[in-house]
Structure 1
Amino acid sequence: MACVVVRYHEIALKGGNRSRFVARLVDNLRAATAGLGVTHAQSLPGRIVLSLADGAALDEIQARVATTFGVANFSCGVATALDLDAISDAAVAAASRAPMESFAIVTRRADKSFPLTSPQVNARVDLDEPAVAIAIEILPRAAFVSAGKIRGPGGLPVSISGRVTCLLSGGIDSPVAAHRMMQRGCRVGFVHFHGGPYTDRASRDKARELVAHLTRWQLRSELWVVPFGDIQAEIVARVPRSHRVVLYRRMMLRIAAALGRRGGARALVTGESLGQVASQTLENLAVIAAATPILVLRPLIGMDKAEIIAQAERIGTFATSILPDQDCCSLFVPPHPTTRATAAEVAAAESLLDVDALVARGVDAAERETFVFPPPVTARGARESA
């Protein structure tokens, strides 16, 4: 029977909690491959086996498994009886399908009752640098034979670490931050602030496209879109120029926290990197985070711009992020924003505002949209553009 053998790494280090992590990964793999011909997903010692029906959509199954966090690597192969002849036939068939100049057969005998040792099963040609490794994995009820390994995204299975809400600007940084939190097992919701009615729809359209793309790693996402232009205008009219950017960010955190709580988020996520812009100094980051008691996570805090861009390119968000738009971060920005705001200065500035009313205005005006992967099929049979 055709199968996909999925292996994990970090999950194996979880000790007494391992079964919970493995169960979540099995559930996520089932959800990711639903409707593609996977008949069974089974957890076995050190691996998960997806059994495939005849005619299963193997290419798409591989693509889905390759974007399932928690997967270290996986192989496509077959399950055979615990019989040396059957195992040998399967290994020969696997080798014949793999274009190569050299190969190695590497056996892992999890079932120690099997009469042959791993070296007795192995056959090797070019031991040091084989072009393809034929893997034979002997387990209590079956052997699995596969050729080669496909790298997975690693990390922890989505949802095992809980829910977070990411402030998504539409730029390069925040989509990378969201992706990194998914890799650490978080289910990520999104909040996008736009400058309407003072800006066009470009930033909103970018945010939707970015969330649609990122959803392939967690299968379902929610995006809140918040009109922020009038709130910014209120701040501009009442507070000193130098502290406006800090107050914008504090207001965003409060609104995002309120929206995140509706979905059970236990932390906020931002794309901030230390020293990258005026609002991202140690002093400003501290007073901004103090606006709300919810935990603020900054997964990019120690990365430089080149590293962030490289990861954006790897995950496929960079091309969308650099599209021109009018985002609220550049709206009403003073020429010389403070880089060392203090709690006292911020408190004095916010005393000129009805903070609760502004937060309520943003929350009440927010619009929610749900994204799923793959996108639903329209009546004409085409995928909707999420």
Structure 2
Amino acid sequence: MKTTQVLVRYGELSTKGRNRNSFIGRLRDNIRQTFSDLENLHIKSERDRMFITAADEKDMEQVINRLPNVFGIQSFSPVTESGLSIEEMKNTAMSIVGKMDTAGKTFKVSVKRANKNFPHEKPEIMHEVGSHVLRNFPELSVQMKKPDIELKVEIREKAAYMMAEVIQGAAGLPVGAGGKALLMLSGGIDSPVAGYHMLKRGVRLELIHFFSPPFTNDRAKEKVFDLAEKLSQFGSSIKLHVIPFTKLQQEVHKQVPDNMTMTSTRRMMMRIADEVLKETNSKAIITGESLGQVASQTLESLQAINAVTTTPILRPLIALDKLDIIGTAQKIDTYDISIRPYEDCCTIFTPANPKTKPKLDKVEYYENFVSFDEMIQEAVDQREIIQFPRVKENTFEDLL
């Protein structure tokens, strides 16, 4: 017996009408991207399900480990190939059920006899396989409707294919199905979580980070690189745009009163993001702002920040509690990266008493003393662009 195939069940895709094939095609492409390092991976998509076949069980282990990160999948099941004799099917059933939690669970066997020349009828297969499992796992009880464990057997021409384990997928929509948007990635806890939520709604991400050396160091930038790497593991490659922000940020602090610099700085970030958005053909800006969490995230502050752009600004965390955000960060494995003690340009320059209700006309008044247009364009032109996931370079030891 061997397990080299998984059956993938679509989630929200099943509700799509005429666009269904487009969504399924997008999911198939994202799966290929996720497993680009595995050779001879075969993907067959059908209307309501998809089959992924690996070259061997080692590759299949990688598929099972990584597939839960691919959006657009409701659940999937490893499929084990068995010989066509009743005894081989019994042994395969024992192997499959033996890996599952059976204490106090209900059980049934269902059979699909696609090979009509197979000498045994469905009731006989169900009885022989089911009774063998029940004898060896007496803690199981039979339940024909909605059992905890349903062992499915499909009889084909050359083999029987059996499965019972159901592994939950990431759900949502395939990345790219919802267009592309630009995520402002700070290095903190919130913005990677905001990116995760938008990926789940099928939005492909470009990332933008504002870097202010020497006030922020390379370790702070490496932290952002690691966050970008994590976000690229959800079925799509990602580009990160690193903006040199020192000159512009210092000019803001010269011209704008200290208690308004946070608002003005965020407005400059939005203006730069707007320019990068045009070049990347993105349709919106995403932020990790949560209402009332800090001074720049009051309604008055957000209104003043929004006024600098007509681009849609998406804030998926706007009504979430901080503990909920932290919970998601831990779930997607970004929390430990985000709490590394390397500050970004926003925290370094945070004023002692920032305005929580800044007046837009006053902010604009102080910004008008300087033309920021040239500095904004210079920052955009001098940005660094990095592709994720990063390709691991072979070292000399790797080649030995």
Q: SS of the residue aligned with 1:16?
A: coil
Q: SS of the residue aligned with 1:218?
A: coil
Q: 1:119 to 1:313 in 2, by over 3 A?
A: farther
Structure 1, 282-291 or 52-61: larger mean CA deviation: 52-61
Q: 1:11 to 1:305 in 2, by over 3 A?
A: same
Shift of 1:118: 9.0
1:287-298 equivalences in 2 (<5 Å): 287-298=304-315
Q: SS of the residue aligned with 1:316?
A: coil
Shift of 1:361: 2.5
Shift of 1:211: 0.8
Shift of 1:194: 2.0
Deviation readout 1:15-65 (Å, 9 max, x if unpaired)? 222221111111211222234255421112411001233455121111221
Q: 1:332 to 1:3 in 2, by over 3 A?
A: closer
Q: Are 1:376 and 2:392 counterparts?
A: yes
Q: Are 1:156 and 2:173 counterparts?
A: yes
CA distance in 1, matches of 2:397, 2:368: 56
Shift of 1:8: 1.5
Q: Which residue of 1 aligns with 2:163?
A: 146
Deviation readout 1:229-253 (Å, 9 max, x if unpaired)? 2211101111122221111001111
Shift of 1:260: 2.6
Q: Are 1:359 and 2:376 counterparts?
A: yes
Q: SS of the residue aligned with 2:217?
A: coil
Q: Which residue of 2 aligns with 1:279?
A: 296
Q: Which residue of 2 aligns with 1:173?
A: 190
- Report the TM-score, using the length of structure 1 for normalisation: 0.87
Larger radius of gyration: 2
Q: What amino acid sits opposite 2:59 in the alignment? A: A
Q: Is the 8 A contact 1:166 1:270 kept in 2?
A: yes
Give the one of 306, 317, 327 matched to 1:300. 317
CA distance in 2, matches of 1:22, 1:381: 41
Q: Is the 8 A contact 1:173 1:308 kept in 2?
A: yes
Q: Is the 8 A contact 1:257 1:292 kept in 2?
A: yes
Shift of 1:313: 0.5
Give the one of 136, 141, 148 matched to 1:126. 141
Number of residue pairs the alignment of both structures matches: 378
| Runs of 5+ consecutive residues of structure 2 not aligned to the other structure | 131-139
Q: Which residue of 1 aligns with 2:133?
A: none
CA distance in 2, matches of 1:78, 1:366: 50
CA distance in 2, matches of 1:381, 1:301: 48
Give the one of 23, 31, 34 matched to 1:32. 34
CA distance in 2, matches of 1:122, 1:302: 51
Q: 1:284 to 1:308 in 2, by over 3 A?
A: same
Q: Which residue of 1 aligns with 2:258?
A: 241
Q: Is the 8 A contact 1:191 1:226 kept in 2?
A: yes
Q: Which residue of 2 aligns with 1:193?
A: 210
Report the aligned-residue RMSD: 3.2
CA distance in 1, matches of 2:124, 2:59: 35
Q: Is the 8 A contact 1:11 1:22 kept in 2?
A: yes
Q: 1:234 to 1:59 in 2, by over 3 A?
A: same
CA distance in 2, matches of 1:311, 1:376: 28
Structure 1, 181-190 or 35-44: larger mean CA deviation: 35-44
Q: SS of the residue aligned with 2:188?
A: coil
Q: 1:240 to 1:199 in 2, by over 3 A?
A: same
Q: 1:19 to 1:232 in 2, by over 3 A?
A: same
Q: Which residue of 2 aligns with 1:62?
A: 64
CA distance in 1, matches of 2:363, 2:117: 70
- Report the TM-score, using the length of structure 2 for normalisation: 0.84
Q: Is the 8 A contact 2:80 2:92 kept in 1?
A: no
CA distance in 1, matches of 2:367, 2:166: 56
Q: Is the 8 A contact 1:192 1:223 kept in 2?
A: yes
Q: 1:61 to 1:242 in 2, by over 3 A?
A: same
Structure 1, 164-173 or 56-65: larger mean CA deviation: 56-65
Q: SS of the residue aligned with 1:157?
A: coil
Q: Is the 8 A contact 1:195 1:229 kept in 2?
A: yes
Q: 1:33 to 1:331 in 2, by over 3 A?
A: closer
Q: What amino acid sits opposite 1:61 in the alignment? A: V
CA distance in 2, matches of 1:260, 1:91: 58
Deviation readout 1:95-126 (Å, 9 max, x if unpaired)? 33432546634548698x99999999756652
Q: Which residue of 2 aligns with 1:98?
A: 97
Q: Which residue of 2 aligns with 1:5?
A: 7
Deviation readout 1:276-312 (Å, 9 max, x if unpaired)? 0000011211221221221111111111110111110
CA distance in 2, matches of 1:184, 1:117: 45
Shift of 1:376: 3.2
Shift of 1:165: 1.0
Shift of 1:80: 7.9
CA distance in 1, matches of 2:397, 2:167: 31
Shift of 1:349: 2.3
Q: What amino acid sits opposite 2:107 in the alignment? A: A
Give the one of 301, 304, 318 matched to 2:335. 318
Q: 1:117 to 1:300 in 2, by over 3 A?
A: farther
Q: 1:88 to 1:164 in 2, by over 3 A?
A: farther
Q: What amino acid sits opposite 1:44 in the alignment? A: E
CA distance in 2, matches of 1:302, 1:308: 10
Deviation readout 1:111-167 (Å, 9 max, x if unpaired)? 8x999999997566524596743234689x997521301121111111111111111
